[in-house]
Amino acid sequence: MCKYRDAQPWSGREDPEDGPQALRMHHLAGRANADIAILGFCCDAGVRRNQGQRGAASGPAAIRHALANLAASPDLDGFHDAGDILVTGEDPAPGQQMLAKHLARLLLDHKRVLVLGGGHETAFGTWSGLRLARPHDRIGIINIDAHLDLRSVGRAGPSSGTPFWQIRQADPDNFRYAVLGVAGEGNTAALFQRAREWDVQIVPDDQLQTEAQAGFAAIDQICAASDAIYLTIDLDALPGALAPGVSAPAARGIPLHVAEGLIDRVLASGKLIAADIVELCPPNDTTGLTARCAAYIARRLMNGWVADHSLR
């Protein structure tokens, strides 16, 4: 079961004594004709099926809350909050279908869409929406993640571990996929074998400990071969000390500044149309640090989209 919920009003800190430039991100929310739209996908079903820790359904609200009080991006004059899709049943598939339809409609009126998940089952809905909006485009997928998420769909159905297998089944002739920050210890030999068979580009987490450059070749190759890029960011790619509020915290992970460098490289292509941020588990995020990391990433994406002169 799933349903749509309208966006809730944004609120946050006010600093009127500092004048008209003392703006925060909550002041920019609610502009209907903005180039950028955000959409929440409140879903725990995929994580439950993947035997993970529940809580991802409250991720979009936590990211919005953390984003609201960040300083406004200087060049961003507003963004549209398109509300939330709520998945209340055991099966994520109806929610993925609704997400796809909403995202495709948003791309009729907005140039870029950022989805706030949800578990990584969000990815199949985001990609499906971009495919609906761009039926003839070559879509490249770049995933910043500790996991390949290429598990095949079993008897239980799709989960947070199967989205890129699902995408490959839906469009096998146009599957271009790179995963940056992969933990060798967190992926079975079967998944690595499947990745090799499908020409998935993999950059391990131990190559991304100090700088992002090790991931640039994979990013550039995917971008050069694609008309549109879908970027998905799983917060469990970050170190567990920085991002404890996920279903599977990383023992190693990649630093935030490295993830930001990878994001900037994707933005520089001018081809990034849809992105999502997934796997925040607020019940595990007792200090709110993981939500704050997610908010930093969301702000960086929106600011980067505005700075992208190919926005059209």
Tokens 């578990």 — which residue? 119
Q: Is 236 assigned a ligand-binding role in the annotation? A: yes
The predicted pLDDT at position 74 comes to 82
Which of 180, 194, 163 lies closest to 222, judged by CA? 180
Q: Considering its fold, how many domains does the chain have in total?
A: 1
CB 57 within 8 A of CB 42: yes
Contacts for 163-168: CB closer than 8 Å, 24+ residues apart: 163/120, 163/121, 163/122, 163/123, 163/124, 163/127, 164/123, 165/194, 166/124, 167/123, 167/124, 167/127, 167/141, 168/198
Q: What is the mean pLDDT of residues 235-248?
A: 96
Q: What is the mean pLDDT of residues 183-193?
A: 97
Instruction: Give a yes or no: residue 89 inside a domain.
Output: yes
The predicted pLDDT at position 54 comes to 86
Q: Is 171 assigned a ligand-binding role in the annotation? A: no
pLDDT for 26-54, tens place per residue? 999 988 889 999 999 999 988 888 887 88
Instruction: Give a yes or no: residue 312 inside a domain.
Output: no
The predicted pLDDT at position 309 comes to 45
Q: Is 145 assigned a ligand-binding role in the annotation? A: yes
Instruction: Give a yes or no: residue 79 inside a domain.
Output: yes
Beta-carbon contacts of 157 under 8 Å, excluding residues fewer than 6 positions away, are 49, 91, 92, 93
Instruction: Give a yes or no: residue 222 inside a domain.
Output: yes
Q: Lowest-confidence range among 71-80, 161-170, 257-266?
A: 71-80
Q: Is 147 assigned a ligand-binding role in the annotation? A: yes
Q: What is the mean pLDDT of residues 240-246?
A: 97
CATH number at residue 178: 3.40.800.10
pLDDT for 153-184, tens place per residue? 988 889 889 999 999 999 999 999 999 999 99
Q: Considering the entire predicted model, what is its pTM?
A: 0.96
Q: For residue 22, what are the domain limits?
A: 2-307
Q: Mean pLDDT, the chain, as a whole number? A: 95
Q: What is the mean pLDDT of residues 238-242?
A: 97
Q: Is 91 assigned a ligand-binding role in the annotation? A: no
Distance separating alpha carbons of residues 43 and 122, to the nearest angstrom: 8
Q: Which amino acid appears at position 246 of this protein?
A: V
The answer on pLDDT for 245 being more than 60 is yes
Cα 100 to chain centroid distance, Å, stands at: 14
Instruction: Give a yes or no: residue 25 inside a domain.
Output: yes
Q: For the CA atoms of the chain, what is the radius of gyration?
A: 18
